[in-house]
């Protein structure tokens, strides 16, 4: 029986590592949002409202629960793609993460979101650029020189 590779459950490329890191961060932040919504709100620049003081019709916690669960799901998708070395998925994420960066940045500039959302935009934008650069690096490494 052949020995099992103890590192078989890890990304196999630089671009895979960018996906894994993003996936782990997204999953972790989603879990924080599910377990401690006020901590996540504070990290984004929102002042948490003490329990029992929310106005009728305030759906902040409902929205936070939904977006946190979406972050967990998305993070797991990224982790699974990294483990499968699904390079097509990596490529698809770059333009959409840049779009997300633009939307969050525009929301702050338009006064629709607190400055803390610039961190979300930067995370998405820098992550997209890191994945793009890693994809180029991986392509160059796999292509033999003439």
For the stretch 63-107, pLDDT in tens is 999 999 999 999 999 999 999 999 999 999 999 999 999 999 999
Quick one: pLDDT at residue 72?
Answer: 98
Could you read off the pLDDT of 47-72 as tens digits, one per residue?
888 878 888 888 888 999 999 999 99
pLDDT for residue 20 is more than 90: yes
Cα 15 to Cα 145: distance, rounded to the nearest angstrom: 21
Scanning the structure block, which residue is given the tokens 């999953």?
27
pLDDT for residue 2 is more than 70: no
Cα 62 to Cα 75: distance, rounded to the nearest angstrom: 20
Nearest to 44, CA basis, from 64, 27, 28: 64
Longest dimension (CA), the chain: 69
Quick one: pLDDT at residue 145?
Answer: 59
CB 6 within 8 A of CB 131: no
Per-residue pLDDT band for 8 (boundaries 50, 70, 90) equals low
Quick one: pLDDT at residue 18?
Answer: 96
Quick one: pLDDT at residue 42?
Answer: 86
Could you read off the pLDDT of 101-145 as tens digits, one per residue?
999 999 999 999 888 889 889 999 999 999 999 999 999 988 765
């Amino acid at each position: 029986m052949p020995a099992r590779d103890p590192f078989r459950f890890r990304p196999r490329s630089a671009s895979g590592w960018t996906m894994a890191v993003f996936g782990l961060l997204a999953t972790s932040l989603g879990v924080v949002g599910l377990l401690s919504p006020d901590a996540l709100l504070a990290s984004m620049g929102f002042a948490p409202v003490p329990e029992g003081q929310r106005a009728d019709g305030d759906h902040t916690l409902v929205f936070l629960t939904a977006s946190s669960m979406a972050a967990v799901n998305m993070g797991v998708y990224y982790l699974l793609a990294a483990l499968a070395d699904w390079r097509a998925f990596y490529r698809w994420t770059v333009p959409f993460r840049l779009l997300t960066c633009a939307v969050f940045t525009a929301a702050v500039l338009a006064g629709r979101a607190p400055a803390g959302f610039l961190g979300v935009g930067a995370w998405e934008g820098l992550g997209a650029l890191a994945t793009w650069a890693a994809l180029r690096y991986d392509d160059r490494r796999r292509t033999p020189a003439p």
